[in-house]
């Protein structure tokens, strides 16, 4: 599996062609739940990590491939002096105007998808034992379930999410609550989880849960888990 270099059989842009060649784990969770923390630890265990949120940031950072298209569609007011997307300004716009969200997604989604595919194929060919796709809106998008072999949800109480995001960013409580309200509910997310990672504050416990998940993914062969 991982020892055989992966070659896409037909359309090189088809991520589904990876299925069966390497175990595919989807990692999701609400804003501030701890997805980056978990993927960092899985990465330390040797997993191949593809973080779609990080990719979205890369393509809208200074020099990012989405910047010229965003400038063309939304105007220079949405680009800061370093050449990066003004995230706060864009966030406010797309919250107010669904059409603007569609235009933005029309620009960014194909670029994110292309980079996701390139990274996944690169990591599969590098011999990673399994791939982790970090997808904040996995449950909401509905596109991923057929591809993934396993879905892990990082979970913590909503109040903890809000506190963590406020501490980390300049967002207000109201802004975080608004983002939370636009995401799938905790119940919806948990109902689709194969594994729930409880990130309620005890990092030692989380670490142990992540190690279990890693062992489980290592043991995934021929479409089934050989260890639990």
The site for ligand ATP (CB under 6 A) is made up of 29, 31-37, 53, 136, 164-165, 168, 199, 201, 203, 206
Q: Which two tokens stand for residue 49?
A: 């990590």
CB of 24 to ligand ATP, least distance (A): 20
Q: How far, in Å, CA of 154 to CA of 135, rounded?
A: 11
Question: b/e string for 11-26 if b means 16 or more Cβ within 10 A?
Answer: eeeebebbeebbbbbb
Distance from C-alpha of 74 to C-alpha of 99, rounded to nearest angstrom = 12
- Residue 196 CB, shortest distance to ligand ATP, in Å, is 14
Write down the least CB distance from residue 35 to ligand ATP, Å: 4
Token readout for 58 is 């890369």
CB of 183 to ligand ATP, least distance (A): 9
* Helix (H), strand (E) at residue 24: strand 24-29
Taking the least distance from each CB to ligand ATP, the nearer of 7 and 87 is 87
Query: To the nearest whole angstrom, how small is the minimum distance from the Cβ of residue 53 to ligand ATP?
Result: 5
Say how far apart CA 27 and CA 32 lie, in whole Å. 13
Considering the complex, state which of residue 35 and residue 216 has its C-beta at the smaller distance from ligand ATP.
35
Q: Which is nearer to ligand ATP, 138 or 206 (CB)?
A: 206
Rounded CA separation 65/76 (Å): 15
CB nearer to ligand ATP: pick between 72 and 211:
211
- Which is nearer to ligand ATP, 88 or 201 (by Cβ)? 201
């Amino acid at each position: 599996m991982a020892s055989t270099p992966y070659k896409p059989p037909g359309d090189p842009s088809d991520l589904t062609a990876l299925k069966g060649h390497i175990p595919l784990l989807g990692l999701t969770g609400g804003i501030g739940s701890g997805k980056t923390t978990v993927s960092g630890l899985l990465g330390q265990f040797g997993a191949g990590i593809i973080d779609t949120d990080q990719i979205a940031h890369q393509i809208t950072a200074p020099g990012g491939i989405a910047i010229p298209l965003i400038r063309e569609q939304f105007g220079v007011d949405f680009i800061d002096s370093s050449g990066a997307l003004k995230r706060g300004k864009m966030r406010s716009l797309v919250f107010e105007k669904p059409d603007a969200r569609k235009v933005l997604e029309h620009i960014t989604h194909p670029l994110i998808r292309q980079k996701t595919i390139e990274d996944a194929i690169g990591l599969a060919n590098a011999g990673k034992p399994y791939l982790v796709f970090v997808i904040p809106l996995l449950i909401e998008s509905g596109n991923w379930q057929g591809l993934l072999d396993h879905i892990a949800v990082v979970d913590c109480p909503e109040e903890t999410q809000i506190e963590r995001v406020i501490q980390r960013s300049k967002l207000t409580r109201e802004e975080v609550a608004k983002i939370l309200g636009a995401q799938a509910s905790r119940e919806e997310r948990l109902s689709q989880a194969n594994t729930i990672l409880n990130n309620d504050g005890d990092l030692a416990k989380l670490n142990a849960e992540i190690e279990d998940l890693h062992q489980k993914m290592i043991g995934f062969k021929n479409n089934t888990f050989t260890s639990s």
